[in-house]
Structure 1
Amino acid sequence: MTFRVLVTDDIDRDGIALLEAEPALRVDEVPTLPVPALMERIGDYDAIIGRSATRISAELLRHAPRLRVVGRAGVGVDNVAMDVATELGVAVINAPAGNTVAVAELFFGTVLGLLRQLPRAWETMREGKWDRASLMGAELKGRTLGIVGLGRIGGEVATRAHAFGMELVAFDPYVADARFAALRVRRAPTLDALLDDADILTVHTPLNDETTGLIGRRELARLRAGAIVANLARGGIVDDVALQAALESGHLKGAVLDVYAREPLSPDHPLRQAPNVVLTPHIGANTAEAQRNVAVDVCAAVRDALLRGELSRSMNVAAVAGEWKELQPAMLVARRAAAVARAILADMGVRAVQRLTVRCGSAIAGGRELLLSAAALGAVEGVIEHDRLNLINARALAEGRGLELTAGESGMLPPNALEVSLRGAMQELTVAGNAPADGGPRLTRIGAFHVDVNPRQTLIVLTNRDVPGVIGRVGTLLGDAQVNIAEYHQARMAQGGEALAVISVDGHVDASVRQRLCELPDVQGASVVQFRGA
């Protein structure tokens, strides 16, 4: 199978070369296209890779029936309609680490430029002056740097700030204490506590509902008189109007901005004339090294998503605390277990499932959200008609049908084991499995019955009376129907009581075979589960 990839917005050639090296990928490299031209051709592509110049709108996504992946050679995905991409099952992949050093270095370059009045010094030298007396500067040493967001870039800034002899304090409710300790940064319990301590404030967070306007009039007023504010993250995190007012009042000594609420910054914007501001035109990632890094990172991730179904880098797949590859067996078990539970409940007359619960052993609990996505996929595939049903949109589609999803860790399970429970119409069924690191995935329990079977291709789940002859009659019927048995596991609660058989078979089992199985003496019911996907 050949996948077509559209590359635009001047992506570095080292990244494109990774794609062109794959025989299964056909790459078209084009300049940034106007919206009508892009809309006309996007329907022919399985992936698009670009930077910020190309807007991946909801309308564009809905005009792209083949599209599987959107690659963003950079950090922010403000130009991508994430909700629609998730709804359609389109993976959105960015390159969050490639420009980390570039942004951190720009922070220090611009802040030092502000403190040492370098823009003014350059200007006076060009004017033929030698104006040392008016160019008194200040040092970083001994100042307290307040960092909002201690992720990749915030961490790089912190590492370099130690070399300048700065005191460091940071606020980030989503980062563990261990990272603060490793970076030798004091943790501020609240944003206000950080603002009270900071001589220089820098923000390194994404732009979202929580961070828009995070640093506004109140926060700026709380900073010490003579403080400096830097925003090299995303325009809108710092309120530009409030910042301008704080600068004009003299409360702030200065500001460093690389990003703005509206870009490009208008030619007559008042900030352009402020003497105590260093402005740059969103060049945080504009180094040759950074552009190469983000291009290579995103192109490799898009390649792996198309050719190997590797979605660990997708922003709209649940985060994985662990390795994607290591979780693959557990994901398969979760998906298959949910499909088995769904099929059995359907044959019991349960048409609508209200709740799906995944419980995980300690070794795989870090990936519980991803395993929940896999179980949701197993629960809805075959029920929901969707051309691109996958891990990306399964949870949203399941929840849209009223399915309540929960996941957690269970100390009662072996480390690599999990349970999937489906509940509906006052009926609940739990299917358990195991995904050991040194063996293949297995289903280990269906309801109260302990089983041991590889969930491959097709499973037949029979309930029957525990009497002689049932296994032989089932085997004969399947043989006559040209259905090859791979595994046959019989389980019972007590001799002569109710029993359950799980039969792994090759190929398709049609409805007539199931009906004949149900008509066999002592067989009480039969469910056929045809598994989809890998």
Structure 2
Amino acid sequence: MTDRRFRVLVTDEIDPEGVALLRAHPDIEVVEKPTRPAAEVLAEIGEYDAFVGRSATRVTRELLQAGDRLRVIGRAGVGVDNVDLRTATELGVAVINAPGGNTVSVAELAFGVLIGLARNIPQASESMRQGRWDRSKLGGVELRGKTMAIVGLGRIGSEMARRARAFGMTVIGYDPYVGQSRFEELDVERVERLNDALERADVVTLHVPLTGETTGMIGASELARLGRDAYVLNLARGGIVAEDALAEALHAGRLAGAAVDAFDVEPLPADHPLRSAPNLLLTPHLGASTRDAQRNVAVEACEAVRDALVTGDLSAAMNASGVGGAATRELRPLLALADRLGRLGRALVPGALNSLEVRYTGPREHAPRPLLLSALQGALRDVVEHRAINLVNAQHVAAERGIETATTMVGGRGELGEEIELRLEGGERSIRVGGALLGETHGRIVRIGAFRVDVAPRGVMMVIRNRDVPGVIGRVGTLLGEAGVNIAEYHQARLSVGGEALAAVSVDSRIPAEVVDRLTALPEILDVRQVEME
């Protein structure tokens, strides 16, 4: 149980099934309110640890800065256009969306409008209602044998590929951010250039996020590469297709038809040129507007928000770069060890930190990046005022301070199993600290500088440099005992007889400054550092 309950503000008509997941947890208090003016939300956001909504409430920089307690933003939907992602990342607020919940609904709508265009279904229905029988004027085309070009082979694009193949279509795809193995898995021919895909396409369907790179990616010049019998589908985000250019191409008869479900400005203005364009199916952003999709995205988002609050699981956070997916959940013992190594290394490198490098030895190819973030989280935990350091903003904070970072991976397994080594540099001093995961969950500190040690990263750790002379361990133990400090582990290491030695001492509580001063005053002691591991 936590010391206090997490308060979550839920708005924008989130499906009750998702809200119920939050309410069911004893450590979460849910406050559900309807969509309200921005000023009202701003006035009370400081009372909440998390916010869950859809697109109606804009999560601005001002709102995020006012949310002193905010740890998580949950968006029950795919897009996060209404969230200031950069500010959230700077402040360490995890942003969670629901990328899988509406996948099928969007893909089914896309094929629904495509079939409607190909068979003139809307025109046929309207003519029948008007008492006409326009059979000879409303002949259409088959999808079988046609080529569909999918721009963006993510979740929805992948569903489009599966359905297109079921209709007997040839499927090609353009997505520079997806590996060849994914194309092969979906039986989609990879096309390296967007223009090449457009020139071959009978149907172009767009399934990409709205970014600086994708804004206006289908403009007049791209539309001109399509044949007169081609169809364009935009059920992704307004702004990906240049709306004026699309309207002009349809009016000029240079396209067979198009369908648009997302617009630059919503609701679509009454006098917008798209409203009068021929052979165009317009829908009011219905892609995710099924009962199934709304339930799915609410459950997906609320479940991830719950886990982020209660267990610290950020695997669903889209701004925790490199820390995502189910595979990362398996890294938790390693992430905890990297965090503790970061704390230890930082305590041993006083002054400004210049660089931090993580070296991972083990079989998990995706591990180095999350381990770097976790090590930064540990190393920077006490250097920023008024801001929590976590896996979301650790890299950003490091960049702000000019701290260079790097990762190295060594395949296979180390001498002790999976191993992590950190090299930290600050001023004129550098230190190497290392740890190993023994078994699946048993993390140990195994290296401090040149010394081999073996101590659990728990409680408070003291690192004592001393001369290798008789009686040091006894004097340290006696002094700590007299101060009421309980020793959990004491590991002494040396490089040579009579030289410098190092002790890694795990104790149950932080040692008062006056006790540290008394330890340092012992003639055999060269240096004493302590670091909180929990």
Contact 2:363 2:412 in 1 (8 A): no
Contact 1:168 1:186 in 2 (8 A): yes
Contact 2:316 2:325 in 1 (8 A): no
**TM-score (structure 1 length as normaliser):** 0.96
Matched, 1:362 2:362: yes
Matched, 1:468 2:470: yes
Identify the residue that residue 107 of structure 1 maps to in structure 2. Answer: 110
Identify the residue that residue 220 of structure 1 maps to in structure 2. Answer: 223
* Counterparts of 2:357 and 2:219, CA distance in 1: 41
Identify the residue that residue 332 of structure 1 maps to in structure 2. Answer: 336
Identify the residue that residue 526 of structure 1 maps to in structure 2. Answer: 528
Alpha-carbon offset, residue 21 of structure 1: 1.4
RMSD, aligned α-carbons: 1.6
Identify the residue that residue 391 of structure 1 maps to in structure 2. Answer: 391
Alpha-carbon offset, residue 234 of structure 1: 0.8
Alpha-carbon offset, residue 495 of structure 1: 2.1
Matched, 1:421 2:423: yes
Contact 1:339 1:379 in 2 (8 A): yes
Matched, 1:262 2:265: yes
Call closer, same or farther: CA 1:313–1:196 in 2, change over 3 Å: same
Over the matched positions of the two proteins, sequence identity in percent amounts to 52
Structure 1 unmatched ranges of 5 or more? none
Alpha-carbon offset, residue 436 of structure 1: 3.9
Identify the residue that residue 494 of structure 2 maps to in structure 1. Answer: 492
Alpha-carbon offset, residue 142 of structure 1: 0.6
Identify the residue that residue 158 of structure 2 maps to in structure 1. Answer: 155
1:1-150 correspondence to structure 2 within 5 Å = 1-150=4-153
* Counterparts of 2:366 and 2:229, CA distance in 1: 44
* Counterparts of 2:364 and 2:420, CA distance in 1: 8
Contact 1:490 1:499 in 2 (8 A): yes
Identify the residue that residue 454 of structure 1 maps to in structure 2. Answer: 456
User: Which of the residues 178, 183, 187 maps onto 2:186?
Assistant: 183
Contact 1:360 1:413 in 2 (8 A): no
CA offsets, 1:245-299, max 9 Å, x none?
Answer: 3223322221111111121111111111112111111100001100010111111
Contact 1:486 1:506 in 2 (8 A): yes
* Counterparts of 1:433 and 1:225, CA distance in 2: 64
Contact 1:451 1:489 in 2 (8 A): yes
Contact 2:352 2:427 in 1 (8 A): yes
Identify the residue that residue 342 of structure 1 maps to in structure 2. Answer: 346
Call closer, same or farther: CA 1:439–1:374 in 2, change over 3 Å: closer
Call closer, same or farther: CA 1:437–1:154 in 2, change over 3 Å: farther
**TM-score (structure 2 length as normaliser):** 0.96
Contact 1:465 1:523 in 2 (8 A): yes
* Counterparts of 1:475 and 1:433, CA distance in 2: 25
Identify the residue that residue 327 of structure 2 maps to in structure 1. Answer: 323
- 3-state DSSP class of the match of 2:256? strand
Q: Kindly tell me the number of residue pairs found equivalent between the two proteins.
A: 528
Contact 1:338 1:421 in 2 (8 A): no
Q: Which residue identity is paired with 1:526?
A: V
Q: Name which of structure 1's ranges 275-284 and 461-470 shifts more when overlaid on structure 2.
A: 461-470
- 3-state DSSP class of the match of 1:409? strand
Contact 1:485 1:505 in 2 (8 A): yes
Alpha-carbon offset, residue 30 of structure 1: 1.5
Q: Which residue identity is paired with 1:345?
A: V
User: Which of the residues 200, 203, 216 maps onto 1:200?
Assistant: 203
* Counterparts of 2:250 and 2:125, CA distance in 1: 22
Contact 2:145 2:170 in 1 (8 A): yes
Structure 2 unmatched ranges of 5 or more? none
Identify the residue that residue 164 of structure 1 maps to in structure 2. Answer: 167
Call closer, same or farther: CA 1:315–1:521 in 2, change over 3 Å: same
Alpha-carbon offset, residue 412 of structure 1: 7.9
* Counterparts of 1:222 and 1:518, CA distance in 2: 77
Alpha-carbon offset, residue 435 of structure 1: 2.3
Contact 1:470 1:521 in 2 (8 A): no
* Counterparts of 1:190 and 1:519, CA distance in 2: 70
- 3-state DSSP class of the match of 1:5? strand
Alpha-carbon offset, residue 325 of structure 1: 2.9
Identify the residue that residue 401 of structure 1 maps to in structure 2. Answer: 401
- 3-state DSSP class of the match of 1:456? coil
* Counterparts of 1:417 and 1:188, CA distance in 2: 41
Q: Which residue identity is paired with 1:452?
A: D
- 3-state DSSP class of the match of 1:360? strand
* Counterparts of 1:248 and 1:301, CA distance in 2: 46
* Counterparts of 2:325 and 2:54, CA distance in 1: 27
Alpha-carbon offset, residue 321 of structure 1: 5.8
- 3-state DSSP class of the match of 1:173? coil
Q: Name which of structure 1's ranges 464-473 and 155-164 shifts more when overlaid on structure 2.
A: 464-473
Contact 1:206 1:233 in 2 (8 A): yes
Q: Which residue identity is paired with 2:471?
A: G
1:288-299 correspondence to structure 2 within 5 Å = 288-299=291-302
- 3-state DSSP class of the match of 1:443? strand
Call closer, same or farther: CA 1:30–1:173 in 2, change over 3 Å: same
Alpha-carbon offset, residue 177 of structure 1: 1.5
* Counterparts of 1:361 and 1:515, CA distance in 2: 38
Q: Name which of structure 1's ranges 75-84 and 519-528 shifts more when overlaid on structure 2.
A: 519-528
Q: Which residue identity is paired with 1:355?
A: S
